[in-house]
């Protein structure tokens, strides 16, 4: 097939996908009402987004005039139980209140409010008021192939907002900001869909710029390929930051390196707390792009991203390479759903020293490599900064098609707590490379650099034990506290009643990032299904 023919075919499938998606999008109902006589806005359901048992209220707001600016003041709030369906959401992380669909003058609007600090009664400013119907493409985009779609092209050095009334199409590589200069913020509203059409269509947030992808539990942000059928339909999301990375000469005061797959782009710096923005309630679907053998774009590629970045309630599904790959950096992840990815669900190297808590990994029945593939640095496994993250409350469900639950190699450190590994084809746990073994110490006399505690393994072969290594992985696991091999009694990805996971964990002391848990795995119990509702179907 010629390139031209292939493009035409791609465009046809894109249009078909967009039309299908438009049909599903148009079917939403009002979530709020406005009474002009009393200047009151009524929200039958306002959810305070906080996981599987989010509280919800019937809330009313009065319009108040503050020096010529309209603000909304909370007038009443009564608890309600039923929070199914599309609803309004307050996100404590961003302090944003999202009104999904407010009828006004015969049209229906999305409103984004922001809590004004230290107000009592609570008062909100109005940040956005956007028609939920298509009103044409904004000046920063061009008309797309279907009615209601707009194309994003090239580099944006001004702040832009992607709204849900438009189907956004990435037209090639789309960059936010120039590298380290002309920085910009990309804001993505709840329920917004962004499509790439091929591997070369990807979204890249450069150093100094930000992404604010603020979905809600009932209106997640969706980044996807057009067909939503198979991995590799588009490139994926890349975020580059100023946190640390290794691989430089020891004499370099600041380490910056080119990205292996797109070598014209660089990342790294010395700001461990760097803030690249927010990813909340965001799906990244059917992404991944092999630029060269072993050099790919992943669903979510994090290049020296800093700890100031919020990554919480993010799903990466059916990527053609890894779900999330960290190249150095200090990003901290929470509530991750990594499903059906073709290589590893979580992959790191280059000195990642971040954290993760509440991670569900589910490998496809017929594809996938490792649940976690963990490196420090291939050609110099002891190089600093050394990869050494802390991972807590993970549930990893493998399949016979995959290899290990986790492979720790090339000098990485890690600290694993309260996690369960099941069903991986080769083994649950493997350690590789002399430097990795040496960094661990020896069973009974561990250094603290490579640890696992209060965790369960349940694979046909639990440990890859190799007699020529410094120690046996089984000895390493069995000599640390609270570890068990055996049936964790899972029902799908949730613990069944009576599961040993329900009480087998222990809280992480002295780190405010980690919520205190006394259970093993990503879910507290059978009722704690925080992965339900906002995710793309993966069962
Ligand atoms: Ca990768
Ligand atoms: Ca792999
Ligand atoms: Ca990989």
User: How far is residue 182's CA from residue 158's CA, in Å, rounded to a whole number?
Assistant: 8
- Residue 238 within any structural domain of the chain: yes
Report the number of distinct structural domains present in the chain. Answer: 2
Our measurement of the distance from residue 378's CA atom to the centroid of its chain's CA atoms, rounded to an integer in Å, reads 26
Ligand with minimal distance to 404 CA: 2
360 CA from centroid of ligand 1 (Å): 19
User: What tokens appear for 341 in the block?
Assistant: 């990815």
169 CA from centroid of ligand 3 (Å): 27
- Helix, strand or coil, per DSSP, at residue 257: strand
82 CA from centroid of ligand 1 (Å): 41
- Residue 136 within any structural domain of the chain: no
371 CA from centroid of ligand 2 (Å): 9
373 CA from centroid of ligand 2 (Å): 6
- Residue 221 within any structural domain of the chain: yes
Residues 109 and 147 both lie in one domain: no
Q: What's the pTM?
A: 0.95
Name the burial class of residue 529, with classes exposed (0-12), middle (13-18) and buried (19+) by CB atoms within 10 angstroms of its CB.
Answer: middle
Residues 498 and 443 both lie in one domain: yes
User: What tokens appear for 1 in the block?
Assistant: 């097939």
375 CA from centroid of ligand 1 (Å): 12
- Residues with CB under 5 Å of ion ligand 2 are 343-344, 369, 373
pLDDT at 21: 57
92 CA from centroid of ligand 2 (Å): 36
407 CA from centroid of ligand 1 (Å): 14
134 CA from centroid of ligand 3 (Å): 40
Domain boundary among 131, 164, 193: 131
Q: CA quadruple 53, 314, 329, 176: dihedral positive or negative?
A: negative
349 CA from centroid of ligand 2 (Å): 12
pLDDT at 84: 85
pLDDT at 76: 98
Residues 84 and 192 both lie in one domain: no
Ligand with minimal distance to 347 CA: 3
373 CA from centroid of ligand 3 (Å): 6
Residues 365 and 400 both lie in one domain: yes
Residues 115 and 192 both lie in one domain: no
469 CA from centroid of ligand 2 (Å): 22
User: Which residue range forms the structural domain that includes residue 369?
Assistant: 143-503
298 CA from centroid of ligand 1 (Å): 6
Q: Are 482 and 454 in contact (CB under 8 A)?
A: yes
- Residues with CB under 5 Å of ion ligand 3 are 322, 343-344, 347, 373
pLDDT in tens, the chain (539 residues): 334 444 445 555 555 566 555 544 544 689 999 999 999 999 999 999 999 989 999 999 999 999 999 999 999 999 999 788 999 999 999 999 999 999 999 999 999 999 999 999 999 999 999 999 999 999 999 999 999 999 999 999 999 999 999 999 999 999 999 999 999 999 999 999 999 999 999 999 999 999 999 999 999 999 999 999 999 999 999 999 999 999 999 899 999 999 999 999 999 999 999 999 999 999 999 999 998 998 999 999 999 999 999 999 999 999 999 999 999 999 999 999 999 999 999 999 999 999 999 999 999 998 899 999 999 999 999 999 999 999 999 999 999 999 999 999 999 999 999 999 999 999 999 999 999 999 999 999 999 999 999 999 999 999 999 999 999 999 999 999 999 999 999 999 999 999 999 999 999 999 999 999 999 999 999 999 999 999 999 97
- Residue 1 within any structural domain of the chain: no
Residues 63 and 205 both lie in one domain: no
- Residue 6 within any structural domain of the chain: no
347 CA from centroid of ligand 2 (Å): 8
- Residue 282 within any structural domain of the chain: yes
- Residue 57 within any structural domain of the chain: yes
- Helix, strand or coil, per DSSP, at residue 15: helix
């Amino acid at each position: 097939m010629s390139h031209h023919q292939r493009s035409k075919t791609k465009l046809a499938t894109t249009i078909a996908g967009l039309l299908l998606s438009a049909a599903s999008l148009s079917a939403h109902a009002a979530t709020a009402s406005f009474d002009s006589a009393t200047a009151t806005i009524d929200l039958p359901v306002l959810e305070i987004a906080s996981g599987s048992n989010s509280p919800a209220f019937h809330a009313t707001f009065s319009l108040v005039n503050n020096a010529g600016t309209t603000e909304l003041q909370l007038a009443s709030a009564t608890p309600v139980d039923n929070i199914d369906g599309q609803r309004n959401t307050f996100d404590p992380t961003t302090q944003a209140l999202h009104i999904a669909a407010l009828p006004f003058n015969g049209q229906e609007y999305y409103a984004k409010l922001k809590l004004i600090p230290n107000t009592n009664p609570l008062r909100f400013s109005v940040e956005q008021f956007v028609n939920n119907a298509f009103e044409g493409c904004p000046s920063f985009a061009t008309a797309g192939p279907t009615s209601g779609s707009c194309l994003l092209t090239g580099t944006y050095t001004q702040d832009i907002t992607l709204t849900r009334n438009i189907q956004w199409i990435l037209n090639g590589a789309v960059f936010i900001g120039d590298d380290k200069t002309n920085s910009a913020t990309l804001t993505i509203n709840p329920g917004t869909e962004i499509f790439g059409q091929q591997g070369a269509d990807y979204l890249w947030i450069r150093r100094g710029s930000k992404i604010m992808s603020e979905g809600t539990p009932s209106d997640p942000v969706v980044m996807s390929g057009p067909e939503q059928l198979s991995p590799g339909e588009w490139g994926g999301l890349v975020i580059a930051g100023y946190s640390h990375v290794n691989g430089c000469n020891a004499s370099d005061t600041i380490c910056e390196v080119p990205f292996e797959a797109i070598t014209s782009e660089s990342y790294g710096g010395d700001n461990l707390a760097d803030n690249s923005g927010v990813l909340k309630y965001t799906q990244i679907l059917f992404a991944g792009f092999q630029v060269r053998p072993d050099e790919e774009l992943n669903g979510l590629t994090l290049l020296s991203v800093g700890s100031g970045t919020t990554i919480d309630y993010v799903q990466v599904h059916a990527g053609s390479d890894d779900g999330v790959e960290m190249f150095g950096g200090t990003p901290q992840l929470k509530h991750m759903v990594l499903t059906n990815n073709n290589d590893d669900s979580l992959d790191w190297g280059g000195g990642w020293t971040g954290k993760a808590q509440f991670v569900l990994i589910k490998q496809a029945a017929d594809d996938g490599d490792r649940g976690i593939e963990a490196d420090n640095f291939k050609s110099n496994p002891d190089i600093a900064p050394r990869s050494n993250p802390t991972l807590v409350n993970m549930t990893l469900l493998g399949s016979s098609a995959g290899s290990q639950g986790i492979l720790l190699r090339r000098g990485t450190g890690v600290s694993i707590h309260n996690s369960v590994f099941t069903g991986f084809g080769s083994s649950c746990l493997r350690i590789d490379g002399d430097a990795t073994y040496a960094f661990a110490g020896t069973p009974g006399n561990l250094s603290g650099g490579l640890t696992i505690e209060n965790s369960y393994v349940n694979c046909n072969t639990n440990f890859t034990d190799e007699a020529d290594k410094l120690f046996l992985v089984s000895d390493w696991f069995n000599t640390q506290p609270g570890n068990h091999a055996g049936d964790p009694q899972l029902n799908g990805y949730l613990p069944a009643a009576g599961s040993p996971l329900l009480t087998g964990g222990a809280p992480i002391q002295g780190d405010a990032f980690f919520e205190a848990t006394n259970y093993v795995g990503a879910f507290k119990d059978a009722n704690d299904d925080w992965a339900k509702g906002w995710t793309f179907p993966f069962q």
